[in-house]
Structure 1
Amino acid sequence: MKPITIQEALRWASSFLAERELEQPVADWLIRHYLQVNRTELLMRLQDPFEDQYFTQLKIDLERYASGVPVQHIIGYEEFFGRRFQVSEHVLIPRPETEELVVAVLDLKKQFFENEQVQLVDVGAGSGAISVTLALEDPSLHVQAIDISENALTVARGNAQSLHAKVSFLQGDLLEPLLAAKTKMDIVVSNPPYIPLSDAESLAIHVREHEPHLALFGGEDGLDLYRRFMSELPLCINEKGIVAFEVGVGQAEVVREMLAAIFPLAETEVKHDINGKERMVFAYGDMRVEK
């Protein structure tokens, strides 16, 4: 029997996904993963035979995806800032919006610190997407990353090693490792858990049942971690510094007001992501706590 072509396999997979109202690009991601090709190479090979072993695996993986397993867990990685980060059920899958947080931090660092050696901490390291990317994009940054989960830190350390990034990892709850060491930072960046517990049932099954709740939920209103940050930040940041948060939809102004209350001399700002949503909050400049 003549093997099907890559194009025919893609068409079959797309129909499978369309019937179940699932994301169409998953078919493309899986087949590119099997063949280890980029999208351009895949398009050039559409008429090539698609081996039976791959077609069998495609059917298995699509059933897993349809049952709720994220495609990133099936293939084992996600792309972030043009790099491949390994992921597992122990870490949040990096989102494209978080790339915008990284860009904003790099821009603010240049504005306030130019070519100085800068101490930066990423709180809630997860896969290491933020800390590893910042360390690779700006070698003048001395990057530390904290996570409460040792399993998450294992994933993050593996990503730092495979991508040749110099990052120091610490296990602990929020800024506690810095408080214990009486260490201060120039930049604190975090994408903490911010989903309200009341939103749990409305989340997609891929998120709700396969990503770590520790990295998703921030209490009843989603703001618990930000409140805790406000008590710890003044003890951990230098007089000239930057605080950068990713926040959930509808939380930006509340978090900005929290930062403005703690750091009355600092500039505070809300930035929109590429979709026009208020997803980033910053405080920068004079981080002294009293006028």
Structure 2
Amino acid sequence: MQQQMTIQEALRWASSFLSERDLELPVGEWLVRHYLQINRSELLMKLRDPIEDELVLRLKEDLLRHAEGVPVQHIIGYEEFFGRRFLVNENVLIPRPETEELIVAVNKLKKLLFQDEEIELVDVGSGSGAICITLQLEDPTMRVRAIDISGEALEVAKENAKRLKAAVGFYNGDLLLPLIEEQVKVDIVVSNPPYIPLTDSESLAVHVREHEPHLALFGGEDGLDLYRRFMEELPLVMKEKGIVAFEVGVGQAETVRDMLAKTFPKAETEIKIDINGKERMVFAYGKMK
């Protein structure tokens, strides 16, 4: 009778499978932790324990799906972001670790400009709700709205808000139009809009190109279409003092900062570097009028 595999042996096999295909090695561990519903510390304590044959079979099947291009987050149904679990599917972008830095930067600027005042914030292109929900939970003095053009994405965001008990008002609409139509003014606009140039589509990893929503990925020929539209709409929703915070693509930071400086000549503008040393965030803050 064949001896049952240990968790350590299953993980070693998974690492070898992933390594041969130049895929991320932690994927095997994420899957096993998901099957067993345990955290990393618990996994390390159980490495010598046997693992059920059916789970080994499931691991092999899921790794084959991943090797064919399915993101591991779609296989397990969630991604961790800012210490919280967000449901994800093919209708929303998978939250990236770099975006956590946008949250930290917005919170710092908010405290600098507004201290503990209650303020109005809108997250444009909310996707899974990772940004708007996290900001609201991290600072409950913020009254948070979120807008997305995709009804399917909003369903995911609403479910995440409900599960995480976040008070966020959701709007289905294009960019800032829902606020403009209701003549709503806000203190902070945050957005991680689609910014990948259409010309880069073929160079994207298959996990991204074939399994994440193109509506949330591509920003026109040069990737800057949405930022241009923002410059027309932002002055219609910003209060006299405020913050605009954008995530941008590689090589776009200076151009987006120039756009913001022209749109809000009295405001300070700033570019921030992310954990990978890339110019990832652009801000305008202070006097907006």
TM-score by length of 2: 0.99
Aligned to 2:237: 236
Give distance in 1, aligned partners of 2:84 and 2:11. 25
Secondary structure, in 3 states, of the residue corresponding to 1:169?
strand
Aligned to 1:98: 99
Letter in 1 for 2:29: D
Letter in 2 for 1:11: R
Aligned to 2:269: 268
Secondary structure, in 3 states, of the residue corresponding to 1:214?
helix
Give distance in 2, aligned partners of 1:283 and 1:163. 30
Give distance in 1, aligned partners of 2:50 and 2:91. 37
Aligned to 1:32: 33
Poorly superposed stretches of 4+, deviation over 6 Å:
none
Q: Deviations over 1:72-93 (max 9, x none)?
A: 0000000000000000000000
Give distance in 2, aligned partners of 1:70 and 1:276. 25
Q: How many residues align?
A: 288
Q: Deviations over 1:144-175 (max 9, x none)?
A: 00000000000000000000100000000000
**Residue 179 of structure 1: CA displacement?**
0.6
Secondary structure, in 3 states, of the residue corresponding to 2:146?
strand
Letter in 1 for 2:141: S
Aligned to 2:17: 16
Aligned to 1:180: 181
**Residue 2 of structure 1: CA displacement?**
2.0
Structure 1 residues 102-121: aligned runs within 5 Å: 102-121=103-122
Letter in 2 for 1:28: E
Q: What root-mean-square deviation, in Å, do the aligned CA atoms of Structure 1 and Structure 2 show? A: 0.5
Aligned to 2:171: 170
**Residue 23 of structure 1: CA displacement?**
1.0
Aligned to 2:212: 211
Secondary structure, in 3 states, of the residue corresponding to 1:158?
helix
Give distance in 2, aligned partners of 1:2 and 1:79. 35
Q: Deviations over 1:114-161 (max 9, x none)?
A: 111100000000000000000000000000000000000000000000
Letter in 2 for 1:127: S
Aligned to 2:201: 200
Aligned to 1:134: 135
Give distance in 2, aligned partners of 1:22 and 1:110. 40
Aligned to 1:190: 191
Letter in 1 for 2:90: E
Structure 1 residues 273-288: aligned runs within 5 Å: 273-288=274-289
**Which 5+ residue runs of structure 2 have no aligned equivalent?**
none
Q: Deviations over 1:88-120 (max 9, x none)?
A: 000000000000001000000000001111000
Secondary structure, in 3 states, of the residue corresponding to 2:222?
coil
Give distance in 2, aligned partners of 1:194 and 1:92. 13
Q: Deviations over 1:46-87 (max 9, x none)?
A: 000100111111011000000000000000000000000000
Q: Percent identity?
A: 72
Secondary structure, in 3 states, of the residue corresponding to 2:280?
strand
Give distance in 2, aligned partners of 1:74 and 1:222. 29
Letter in 1 for 2:41: T
**Residue 274 of structure 1: CA displacement?**
1.3
Aligned to 1:153: 154
TM-score by length of 1: 0.98
**Residue 41 of structure 1: CA displacement?**
0.7
Aligned to 1:144: 145
**Residue 20 of structure 1: CA displacement?**
1.2
Aligned to 1:48: 49
**Which 5+ residue runs of structure 1 have no aligned equivalent?**
none
